[in-house]
Structure 1
Amino acid sequence: PTDADHVYVENEGSYESFDGGETFQRVSTPHGDNHDRWINPTNPMVQVQSNDGGANVTLDGGATWSSQHNQPTAELYSVDVDDRFPYWLYSGQQDNSTIRVPSNPPATGSAGGHTGNWEAVGGCETGPVVPKPGEPAIVYANCKGRFGRFNQETGQEKQYYVGFQNLYGANPADLDYRFQRVVPIEVSPHDPSTVYHGSQFVHKTTDEGVTWEQISPDLTAFRPERQTISGGPITRDITGEEHYSVLYAIEESPVQAGVIWAGSNDGLIQVTRDGGETWTDVTPPDMAPEGRVQTIDPSPHRAGKAYFAYYRTLLGDLTPYIYKTEDFGQSWTLLTPGHNGIPSHHATRAVREDTEREGLLFAGTEFGMYVSMDDGTTWEKFQYDLPRTPITDMKIHQGDLVLSTMGRGFWIMDNLSPLRQAAAAMAEDVYFFEPVDAYRLRGGGFGGFGQAGPDEPQYSPVGAMLDYMLPAGVRSVELSIHDGSGEMIRLYESEGPGVSTERAQEMRAPFFQTRGAPSPGTKAGLNRFVWDLTVPGPGGAARGGPMVVPGQYTASLTVDGETHERSFNVLMDPRVAADGVTVADLQEQFDLALEIQAAIEDADQTIERLRGVQERVSEGTDVERQLKEIERALLTDDSISSYPQPMLRDQFNYLYRNSISADQEPAVDMYDRLEALVTELEEHKSQLERLSRMVTDG
């Protein structure tokens, strides 16, 4: 801004000229594929630069740059999920590796900070990377049209390309098989050994890519004049991204095997109902031509029903296109006319129907998310805290809505049950949603009410999610939890009218969980309360109690005196069950923890009584000395700065913490130790009783 001859040009590299563009020199940036640069108009040394790795700031004209490792700016082309518990998310990231990340922290944790659980899984930046059902160590991976089988156990990727032609630099007219950089890989929902893959043809393998069978003719609107070298002789750019007349989406119906849909990037959608023996072009006749069939979603409810999102932004058309068929493509309905909720300039990239509630649809657009409760007749914005960014793909998995974005990484909406029950909720002033079953998990999600550091993934809270809808003006809310016998084991009370359960996060990075019992919200609209599956700790403390045993529980919601009840199950962590732990083990552990709690409370009452007797005794007397000896036996001397000897009260605490630190059958030594500690406590109680009588009798 202060020197007209000083020019920057952003390209794959970043370039700088000091003579008005006559000569350029390449300059360093933190990442390649540079897109934009902002220069402070009053202080040109301050600049912000963006590229395929994120954004970075310089205060010295580009000599040094800020880190890109403090921002979730991954550009993800798609999202796939595995069937582990908890599940992991998979994608290719533009100008980076493929990636696999957990939906909740792995049980073992990681020493690598917020990137410690990231894993590359074969293929390359384009993806997709699709885990094999039932065997997540095996991942079917793509790199710019090249198919591979990655094995996490060996770290090796076997190469099984269709045709084995080098695509880079090749004129697409000379290729036997035209592959886009981002090609479809679809594992059959009916047979995990069957995988579909797309060039201009649909290819099928049943041996993980060793052999391929072509099961379709060319399913594109092939036009020879479109098969050219992108950029011509001057800016030649042939990496596969430019290949036209290729398949971009392949999906098999989860309802009926052999019903396979295929969509091309030049405007056709086709279907087979016999596993590829015959194909029918079912492209809507009035659809704008030559766009990209971005995603196809065969309905999980009916075989003949399907949706697809159509994308023409690269042709200068931002119109949203989502189509629905209920008769295998014989007829189509446009669900996005531009006046029913999705604006006429919000181009659509993805559409998904809920796996449980038919007609509940989600649409991912160039500018965020939309939801339809009526099978696409109307749409509503569904953004909340989601960044305003392109939504590239969606999956509905284990009750969650999982998203990939172009520029802001993965996002998950936990627990879709309120949306699935929305129709019933709208008919009531107060509605207590049916809870989903809750798993006993340890260590994940930073606790039901804790906080993560600002650079950590914001994992789902652990516990039972209790959702309820309230009208305006509610004064009080109580939530109580009851076990299978009807006994109340937890009670939470609201703080006042109009209060949300949400907590503002401090600017500094919190290193510990917030303390104290949470309060159920009273604000109008949807409220979510997460019970952490524990009972009170020793002395009725809000935290620190043992986790409840798997079984059925009832939540009772009382709103201004009116009570609503819902039942749900607490389930064992499947990984714990696989380790041989039984519900009987957990019941025994819970009972032991309550025994130790009772002993701790007995010790605390003894200490309190000791204090009372000490207040009635003169200093220097023999009784005062004996009371002091009891105190030293019960309480650790905190005046010793390093490694004070833990006395009886802390010995109880030590045993208690160990007894509930993992899901397990209690150790025999735990019982022996508790018996010894209780015996010692009883001896001190007897001594205290004797001394107390002496003081009382004078």
Structure 2
Amino acid sequence: GAGDLILDPNNPRIMYAATWEMKRNGYRMDSGGPDSKLFKSTDGGDTWKDISSYSGLPGGPWGIVGIAVSPLDSNRVWAIIEAADGGLFRSDDAGVTWKKINENRALRQRAWYYSRIYADTQNKDKVYVMNVSYGVSTDGGKTFTLKNAPHGDHHDLWIDPNNNNRMVIADDGGAQISNDGGENWTTYYNQPTAQFYRVATDNHFPYRIYGAQQDNSAIRIAHRTSGSTITERDWESTAGGESAHLAPDPKNNDIVFGGTYKGYMMRRDHTIDQTRSTNIWPDNPAGSGVEIMKYRFNWNFPVMFSIHNKNRLYAGSNYLHATTNEGQSWETISPDLTRGLPETIKSSGGPITQDNTGAEFYSNLFAIAESPNEKGVIWVGSDDGLIHVTKDDGKNWENITPPSAISPKLNMINCIDVSPFKKGTAYVAATSYKFGNYTPYLYKTTDYGKTWKLITKGIKKNHYTRAIRTDKVREGLLYAGTEWGMYVSFDDGASWSPFQLNLPVTAIRDLQVRNNDLIAATHGRSFWMIDDLTPLHQLASNMTNSEFHLYKPDISYRMQQSGGWGRSNSKLVGENHPNGAIFNYYIKNSSETDSVTLDILEMDGTLIQRFSNTAKANNFDPAAPKSLKVSSGGNRFIWNMRYPGFKAFKGMVLYSSPNRGPKAVPGNYKVKLTYNGKSSEKEFSIVKDPRLPNTQEEYKDQFNFLIDVRDQVTRANEAIIAIRSVKKDLKYVGGKTAGNQEMQDLINDFEKKLSVIENKIHMTKNQSRQDPLNYGIRINNRIAFLLADSQRGDYPPTDQSLQFFEEIKKELDEQVKALNQLLEEYIDNINSKVSENKIQMISFK
């Protein structure tokens, strides 16, 4: 096919095209042959002339060819040509004659992967060549300076036709922009485009997700954090390289094993930041084909710890290997479990340039899985289409490859998942896309591979499959990842439905089910996950006949998780796990006239908080019903686990004292959904952060203390509300008695005394957020700060907090007592004088 096509910027009817004889399949890549040529058209492509043999161009065979035409001089044409005598060639007569002007290997190494050239838009002598580093020439291509954008492996470049300082470069890290001719480039960290191969998790809390990124590092990242989002500070590089399977040690998750291409393998100790080589056979095959290797390893060879023996680590070459001493020594526990066809295990690259990165190393194990139900039962699959099983820990192996009627000979066995419910049952995802076959291949066996069934009904015929996983809770619930997205099956694979939801259309390379979560390793859009699979566990066909349904909630961990500041940028950060208890419910047909409430209850039925679709906004009474958004179909609501905060009043400004009630104590609670008078109730559990040493009593001590503090803030604020209510009445009475000096004096005296108490309880001068830095805070703010300060973490109150609380309560008691006395003293007196003077409260004259 055509490898490059360039239009003359000054005359689009003049075109240059390079054809490229190139073949790539599952086991090799060949660049070059007699069909790699250079052509020119002067009539918009209606006719073409082969100019490959024109004077100055190299002899064949050629491989890839890149072309550029100067926008300032149509006669100047460059071609970078892969050939034995290849290099950078230039013509100054529109392709009639050529001259080799540069043969720098840095410009043409791994030619098939790069070989792109671009002419500057405002300088005739300036030209760019893309490679690991990109080359810049200012003398027409004779000499080059090598430069780098933020990420290596540069592939494409755009230069603004009107401003050659403005450029966009594309590389293996994404895209970056320069406004100064490539001296500086923007970041690629604003592009969530990581290409993950596999996904693993550890036993840490919260568990971490592990994956290796194509042309980037292997990382581990917390699946939820104490922040509002998941950011760069929540991930770190780990063992292995760009193509690694990763295996955290189940005994110590700070020990991580990771592979990479060519069989390289390492052990990373995160506690001391040390890395050790644990290669099964440390012979570097760089530059040679897989045929010279003692053991053959796939680019993405499998590494995993045993489910049954926490000391046993597996790794797959064309054999299965195991170590029980962290890679100090390895035992080979299988024969060669691949086809080992000679034609599939040769040096790759073609007749001109060999290219043995390890990507074409073939005939290797590609998937390993242990049975969770049976110790010693191990399943393995190869990239050349074989599946084997052992039932005695590797002593004997049985070839259980699906028959050729349903599985092509070189079908890459990408994923094996063994049922946690039934012995002998396993699921397999395979693909032959590398041989031009985009058919999805998913298989199921219930008899250790004696028989297989193809289970792809409902999956589009070109959505080739890479991953299949069984749910850990609901038998028959399966998840499948394809090149074009997600599918789900509720009938053990008999039928599939799209399960894309809000997931971008992208390749799914691997899946993992963990703690009722589903994690997808995408090859192009980073990690995505579903935080709560429990609705799928409970989904039943008869629910469609119900007007509404409340799902039983999953357990909810009580954690200290920040709400953050402002809105986050989804291009820069990951979405965190919801901060609270997740409630899922279904409304068949929602209408504006519906009444829907969600009540959070203690086990004895005491209401903690009500949420309603008819609730009106009330910022002053946290115990009032709060808004609930309802729509037809599935709904999800996150309760922050908090009891209501304190009562507030209009214009209240407090310093460093957000109005947040205490979190619920770990334990059992109820949630009740009421739909148009009909109710459904479920129990749910809040559990402690397992990292904390807290006892249940300590949680209760904190909760009880915070409730008492909250109520005192409410008491203080209710006093302010009462004072302002009385002042409002006094203002009205004062208006009605403007001519009565005795009444005016009495009202003014009362108001002044009320204001004294008001300002001892609350600083009335504080009207904006930072006013308290100028005007000292008063009793209500000091108590409110104690409430906020005492719930920074999950700890019982300090002795000092208890002592301060008693002191501040006494101060509040004094003011409330003074207020009550003042009210008794003046209100009856004023009311009496209103009656004595026959003052009309309502009049129209």
Check whether TM > 0.5.
Answer: yes
2:762 paired residue among 617, 635, 638: 635
Distance, in Å, in 1 between the alignment partners of 2:289 and 2:522 is 31
What is the deviation of 1:438?
Answer: 1.0
1:499 match: none
1:304 paired residue among 424, 427, 446: 424
Distance, in Å, in 2 between the alignment partners of 1:58 and 1:328 is 58
2:671 match: 555
- Segments of structure 2 that go 5 or more residues without pairing to the other structure are 1-6, 11-67, 71-77, 81-110, 120-124, 130-139, 616-623, 650-657, 731-743, 831-845
Question: Counterpart amino acid of 2:69?
Answer: D
1:122 match: 239
Question: Counterpart amino acid of 2:231?
Answer: H
What is the deviation of 1:614?
Answer: 4.6
Equivalent residues, number: 668
1:109-132 per-residue CA deviation (whole Å, 9 max, x = no partner) reads 99xx92111201122111122111
Cα distance change of structure 1 residues 277 and 427 upon mapping to structure 2, 3 Å threshold: farther
Distance, in Å, in 2 between the alignment partners of 1:32 and 1:244 is 27
Cα distance change of structure 1 residues 619 and 228 upon mapping to structure 2, 3 Å threshold: farther
What is the deviation of 1:37?
Answer: 5.6
Question: Counterpart amino acid of 2:203?
Answer: D
What is the deviation of 1:520?
Answer: 3.1
Does 1:585 find its partner at 2:704? Answer: no
1:458 paired residue among 559, 575, 597: 575
Distance, in Å, in 2 between the alignment partners of 1:540 and 1:208 is 60
Question: Counterpart amino acid of 2:674?
Answer: T
1:625-655 per-residue CA deviation (whole Å, 9 max, x = no partner) reads 4434323322224276734322111111111
Distance, in Å, in 2 between the alignment partners of 1:388 and 1:561 is 41
Does 1:695 find its partner at 2:796? Answer: no
1:352-397 per-residue CA deviation (whole Å, 9 max, x = no partner) reads 0111111111111111111111111111111111111110101000
Cα distance change of structure 1 residues 423 and 459 upon mapping to structure 2, 3 Å threshold: same
SS across alignment from 1:135: coil
Distance, in Å, in 1 between the alignment partners of 2:335 and 2:343 is 20
Question: Counterpart amino acid of 1:605?
Answer: E
Question: Counterpart amino acid of 1:562?
Answer: K
What is the deviation of 1:523?
Answer: 1.6
2:686 paired residue among 567, 570, 573: 570
2:598 paired residue among 472, 479, 496: 479
1:176 match: 294
1:510 match: none
1:335 paired residue among 455, 469, 488: 455
1:323 match: 443
CA contact (8 A) 1:445 1:460 kept: no
Distance, in Å, in 1 between the alignment partners of 2:534 and 2:423 is 24
CA contact (8 A) 1:517 1:543 kept: no
1:539 paired residue among 635, 647, 651: 647
SS across alignment from 1:193: coil
Cα distance change of structure 1 residues 324 and 663 upon mapping to structure 2, 3 Å threshold: same
Cα distance change of structure 1 residues 295 and 80 upon mapping to structure 2, 3 Å threshold: same
Does 1:236 find its partner at 2:369? Answer: no
1:511 match: none
Distance, in Å, in 2 between the alignment partners of 1:540 and 1:588 is 25
SS across alignment from 1:301: coil
Question: Counterpart amino acid of 2:757?
Answer: I
Does 1:610 find its partner at 2:723? Answer: yes
SS across alignment from 1:50: strand
CA contact (8 A) 1:14 1:28 kept: no
Distance, in Å, in 2 between the alignment partners of 1:619 and 1:28 is 83
2:708 match: 595
Q: In the TM superposition, what are the counterparts of 1:427-466 in structure 2 within 5 Å?
A: 428-443=546-561, 452-454=568-570, 455-466=572-583
CA contact (8 A) 2:249 2:256 kept: yes
Greater Cα shift, 58-67 or 459-468? 58-67
SS across alignment from 2:766: coil
CA contact (8 A) 2:339 2:363 kept: yes
1:664 paired residue among 788, 795, 800: 795
2:633 match: 525
Distance, in Å, in 1 between the alignment partners of 2:303 and 2:819 is 75
Greater Cα shift, 364-373 or 34-43? 34-43
1:198 match: 316
Question: Counterpart amino acid of 1:89?
Answer: I
SS across alignment from 2:374: coil
Cα distance change of structure 1 residues 566 and 443 upon mapping to structure 2, 3 Å threshold: same
1:186-234 per-residue CA deviation (whole Å, 9 max, x = no partner) reads 2111111111111110001111111111010000000122221111462
Q: Give the number of the structure whose residues are more often strand, by fraction.
A: 2
SS across alignment from 2:69: coil
CA contact (8 A) 2:610 2:625 kept: no
CA contact (8 A) 2:485 2:506 kept: yes
Distance, in Å, in 1 between the alignment partners of 2:687 and 2:811 is 38
Q: In the TM superposition, what are the counterparts of 1:80-479 in structure 2 within 5 Å?
A: 80-106=200-226, 114-144=231-261, 145-232=263-350, 234-286=352-404, 287-336=407-456, 340-423=457-540, 425-426=543-544, 428-443=546-561, 452-454=568-570, 455-474=572-591, 475-479=594-598
Distance, in Å, in 1 between the alignment partners of 2:438 and 2:610 is 52
Cα distance change of structure 1 residues 518 and 389 upon mapping to structure 2, 3 Å threshold: farther
Cα distance change of structure 1 residues 345 and 37 upon mapping to structure 2, 3 Å threshold: farther
Distance, in Å, in 2 between the alignment partners of 1:308 and 1:267 is 11
SS across alignment from 1:574: coil
CA contact (8 A) 2:365 2:380 kept: yes
CA contact (8 A) 2:546 2:588 kept: no
Cα distance change of structure 1 residues 14 and 385 upon mapping to structure 2, 3 Å threshold: farther
CA contact (8 A) 2:367 2:413 kept: yes
Distance, in Å, in 2 between the alignment partners of 1:309 and 1:42 is 51
- Segments of structure 1 that go 5 or more residues without pairing to the other structure are 497-515
SS across alignment from 1:386: coil
CA contact (8 A) 2:333 2:395 kept: yes
1:681 match: 812
SS across alignment from 1:319: strand
Cα distance change of structure 1 residues 153 and 528 upon mapping to structure 2, 3 Å threshold: same
Distance, in Å, in 2 between the alignment partners of 1:357 and 1:613 is 62
What is the deviation of 1:621?
Answer: 6.0
Greater Cα shift, 176-185 or 26-35? 26-35
CA contact (8 A) 2:194 2:523 kept: yes
Distance, in Å, in 2 between the alignment partners of 1:520 and 1:38 is 49
SS across alignment from 1:566: strand
Cα distance change of structure 1 residues 645 and 34 upon mapping to structure 2, 3 Å threshold: same
What is the deviation of 1:303?
Answer: 2.3
Distance, in Å, in 2 between the alignment partners of 1:648 and 1:78 is 57
> CA RMSD, aligned part only?
2.9
CA contact (8 A) 2:612 2:625 kept: no
2:86 match: none
CA contact (8 A) 1:291 1:315 kept: no
2:117 match: 16
What is the deviation of 1:45?
Answer: 8.2
Distance, in Å, in 1 between the alignment partners of 2:531 and 2:726 is 55
Distance, in Å, in 2 between the alignment partners of 1:612 and 1:348 is 69
What is the deviation of 1:530?
Answer: 1.1
Cα distance change of structure 1 residues 625 and 558 upon mapping to structure 2, 3 Å threshold: closer
TM-score, normalised with respect to structure 2: 0.74
SS across alignment from 2:237: coil
Question: Counterpart amino acid of 2:721?
Answer: E
Q: In the TM superposition, what are the counterparts of 1:37-56 in structure 2 within 5 Å?
A: 49-56=169-176
CA contact (8 A) 1:446 1:459 kept: no
Distance, in Å, in 1 between the alignment partners of 2:479 and 2:273 is 36
Indicate the structure (1 or 2) with the bigger Cα radius of gyration.
2
1:506 match: none
Greater Cα shift, 404-413 or 584-593? 584-593
Q: Percent of pairs identical after alignment?
A: 36
Distance, in Å, in 2 between the alignment partners of 1:325 and 1:531 is 42
Question: Counterpart amino acid of 1:74?
Answer: A
Distance, in Å, in 2 between the alignment partners of 1:518 and 1:451 is 22
CA contact (8 A) 2:430 2:441 kept: yes
